[in-house]
Structure 1
Amino acid sequence: MTTTPPRVPPKPTPRLEVRNLVRRFDRRTVVDDVSLAVEAGQVTCLLGPSGCGKSTTLRIIAGVDVQDQGTIHVDGALVCDTVFRVPPERRQIGLMFQDFALFPHLSVAGNVAFGLPRGAEDRARRVDELLERVSLSGFGPKFPHELSGGEQQRVALARALAPRPRILLMDEPFSGLDERLRDGIRDDTLALLKEEGTAVLLVTHEPHEAMRMADEIALMRAGRIVQRGAPYNIYNAPVDREAAAFFSDINILRATVEGALTRTPFGEFLAPAVPDGTEVEIVIRPQHLKIDFDRGGRGPNPTPADGTAARAAVVRARFMGRESLVEFRMDEGGQVLKATVPGVFLPGAGTVMWLMIRRDRCFVFPRRG
């Protein structure tokens, strides 16, 4: 008797797919072989420092800039390559910028309705529906100068969503808002985008924003995507030291590999498949340093996962609000390490303590440069 293997459903076509995008200005490559895909209802963040090519990538996808190589596809259909180009207004791609770009001479309702076909039967109904969904019912007759920054941002969101774009491109859309407003408005925006089922590509240089909003993060550096993945994975498995440092402060211990091991004040670390004599960097985030008080020089009894305890003295301690930041100078080698502790922890300068680091919270990378 033969059995029929279960049918594997076909993989859905991405709402947006970018393949091998390249953009050069003079002799400088600003976007270097960028490929990514965004599904319907997914939020992908292009994250990276200023000047890494994020906004240029967004402009090319929107159609306001032209690539030197590569293709862009929407729902599997070619939108543009280096010869063929669908005009920006026919791509069904919405745009939101950091300055909101509202028309000052149009009312709130006029701004939201701007992208809708004139004479459409449901035009007024769509405007009212979106204003209600962004908590601006009754604001239709007002003008942009009468609104707060947060209200202007919500009008810009409603205007971008009014034509029901298949894709929404957002370029630093929350950077102009007061910090206290951002989290609430980001959450409301995300909820609305999910309801609409819009594929979102968001550009930001703020790791906190990317971690809060994204289903997937594409980390860019010098025009290239160096790592892609879910926020949890990209934070806990960085591809290199720079990727780890982009999301938080880091401590770096430098050592040389001997017999697949590196020796540090915290004991030996495994460095499999790394040739002897290679210099490596052991990266540990401040929140993963464990602290114990000195007990007459005897030190704590760490678990195997904590490795060897190393003696250090407090340089200074500062209360940062939710946590305290403590800087230590190691007895062995004199290196300064930072540790963060939840709540208030302010030992005096010179206080001798013991530090431990968990092996499963460390990253070992070959040293570069």
Structure 2
Amino acid sequence: MSEQAPPRLEVRHLVRRYDGKAVVNDVSLSIQPGHVTCLLGPSGCGKSTTLRMIAGVDMQDAGEIYVDGKLVCDTVFRVPPERRGIGLMFQDFALFPHLSVGENVAFGLSGSGAAKRERVRTLLDRVGLVHFIDEYPHQLSGGEQQRVALSRALAPKPRIMLMDEPFSGLDNRLRDGIRDETLALLKDEDASVLLVTHEPEEAMRMADEIALMRDGQIVQQGAPYNIYNAPADKAAVAFFSDINALRGTVQGALAQTAFGQFLCPGVPDGAEVDIVFRPQHVGIDFDRDGRGPNPTPREGTPARGFVERARFMGSESLIEFRMAHDGSLLRATVPNVFLPKKGQPLWLTIRRDRCFVFSAKD
């Protein structure tokens, strides 16, 4: 039986310190050929620093980087950035203003003039810009410049593509289409992609795997479905969506709340837990008998809330409730239009199969 091929990119225990503080602390990840991994996290968590170390423009204080199973960098040995077979694309595109579109795309290519021209035309045709080959960057829109930058990065056929917030400068109306075009082109080129972003929606849309980063460390890694539906902690749930949280004290592996009891297997008696759930998993009823605008499996005890505010968000309505039992705020979303008046009493239930139980941390 043949041995399994090594990952296209593998990072082992990367560390980078500034002024004695580890901004990247023991980061490890791997990407298979043709796969897209999104390094996702808030600003300042170490995403871009990790990308720069992989690219070779910053040196790690510890750890190793491998491409196709071969060491390209540790703290002693270092393959120069231009020989790593890695393409780079940043949010500012960094096109050369004095070069034409075709010259920009051809900038990193070697070989005969005819071969370079053919590669340039092929890539620009793929992104619908071959008719701009002799124009200059300032004559193009932001979305068009982004596609030129992508073509330039892909022109030398890199095995790995590193992308740092590449869509952040684009108009919201353009982003989805350009993301999809970019992903299709990257897949066709069989490039392994590490995409840095702080937008969960972008990571969910583009990634085969998400590495969720916080405070210089990867706190969870997996397929988008698993990251979203089996989060590592309360902060991971909150990074992807609005949340509600109930605090409860455990007795006999059960936490008592206004919505009834919740199972807490393995949690010792007396420990506090947070029961976390998203607004779309709150059921709203006009009465305790279950008649309401947001049908949901009726589980546990309904709890009474008074409408604090209701807003229509386009495809759904967001309703905030002041809960009768403790005065806390709870958010619920309902498809389409539902705008009850402030102060209206309603009964709320929770989808038990969509709740996460975590040890409480103040």
TM over 0.5: yes
- 1:101 pairs with 2:111: no
User: What stretches of structure 2 of length at least 5 have no aligned partner?
Assistant: none
- Which residue of the partner structure matches residue 75 of structure 1? 68
* Whole-angstrom CA distance in 2 between matches of 1:229 and 1:147: 38
Equivalent pair of 2:7/2:33 in contact (CA under 8 Å): yes
SS of 1:12's partner is coil
Distance 1:76 1:305, change over 3 A: farther
SS of 1:100's partner is coil
User: What stretches of structure 1 of length at least 5 have no aligned partner?
Assistant: 1-6
Equivalent pair of 2:38/2:207 in contact (CA under 8 Å): yes
Q: In structure 1, give the amino acid aligned to 2:28.
A: S
Equivalent pair of 2:296/2:351 in contact (CA under 8 Å): no
- Which residue of the partner structure matches residue 169 of structure 1? 162
- Which residue of the partner structure matches residue 287 of structure 1? 280
- 1:40 pairs with 2:33: yes
The number of residue pairs the alignment matches comes to 359
SS of 1:111's partner is helix
Q: What is the CA distance between 1:118 and its match in structure 2?
A: 5.1
- Which residue of the partner structure matches residue 148 of structure 1? 141
Q: In structure 2, give the amino acid aligned to 1:292.
A: D
Q: TM-score, normalised by structure 2?
A: 0.97
Q: What is the CA distance between 1:324 and its match in structure 2?
A: 0.6
- Which residue of the partner structure matches residue 300 of structure 1? 290
- Which residue of the partner structure matches residue 270 of structure 2? 277
Aligned-CA RMSD value: 1.4
Equivalent pair of 1:251/1:283 in contact (CA under 8 Å): yes
- Poorly superposed stretches of 4+, deviation over 4 Å: 301-305
Q: What is the CA distance between 1:303 and its match in structure 2?
A: 8.6
* Whole-angstrom CA distance in 1 between matches of 2:333 and 2:281: 8
1:279-301 CA deviation, whole Å, 9 max, x = no partner?
1100010000011112xxx5439
Q: What is the CA distance between 1:334 and its match in structure 2?
A: 1.5
Q: In structure 2, give the amino acid aligned to 1:119.
A: S
Instruction: Specify which of 196, 200, 214 is matched with residue 207 of structure 1.
Output: 200
Aligned residue runs from structure 1 range 4-19, under 5 A: 7=1, 10-19=3-12
Worse-matched range after superposition: 273-282 or 47-56: 273-282
Q: What is the CA distance between 1:362 and its match in structure 2?
A: 0.2
Q: What is the CA distance between 1:13 and its match in structure 2?
A: 1.0
- 1:365 pairs with 2:355: no
Q: In structure 2, give the amino acid aligned to 1:159.
A: R
Instruction: Specify which of 18, 23, 38 is matched with residue 16 of structure 2.
Output: 23
* Whole-angstrom CA distance in 2 between matches of 1:97 and 1:343: 38
1:22-64 CA deviation, whole Å, 9 max, x = no partner?
0000111000000000011100000000000000000000000
Worse-matched range after superposition: 131-140 or 117-126: 117-126
SS of 1:202's partner is strand
Q: What is the CA distance between 1:121 and its match in structure 2?
A: 4.5
* Whole-angstrom CA distance in 1 between matches of 2:61 and 2:229: 35
Instruction: Specify which of 63, 79, 85 is matched with residue 78 of structure 2.
Output: 85
- Which residue of the partner structure matches residue 56 of structure 1? 49
Equivalent pair of 1:80/1:86 in contact (CA under 8 Å): yes
Instruction: Specify which of 288, 312, 320 is matched with residue 327 of structure 1.
Output: 320
* Whole-angstrom CA distance in 2 between matches of 1:347 and 1:304: 22
Aligned residue runs from structure 1 range 316-355, under 5 A: 316-355=309-348
Q: TM-score, normalised by structure 1?
A: 0.95
Distance 1:25 1:299, change over 3 A: same
SS of 2:179's partner is helix
* Whole-angstrom CA distance in 1 between matches of 2:31 and 2:128: 28
Worse-matched range after superposition: 153-162 or 121-130: 121-130
- Which residue of the partner structure matches residue 190 of structure 1? 183
Q: In structure 2, give the amino acid aligned to 1:160.
A: A
Equivalent pair of 1:307/1:358 in contact (CA under 8 Å): no
Aligned residue runs from structure 1 range 113-262, under 5 A: 113-117=106-110, 119=112, 121-262=114-255
Equivalent pair of 1:318/1:325 in contact (CA under 8 Å): yes
* Whole-angstrom CA distance in 2 between matches of 1:79 and 1:303: 53
SS of 2:130's partner is coil
* Whole-angstrom CA distance in 2 between matches of 1:121 and 1:164: 17
- Which residue of the partner structure matches residue 4 of structure 1? none
Equivalent pair of 2:304/2:324 in contact (CA under 8 Å): yes
SS of 1:61's partner is helix
- % identical aligned pairs: 71
SS of 1:306's partner is coil
* Whole-angstrom CA distance in 2 between matches of 1:10 and 1:251: 47
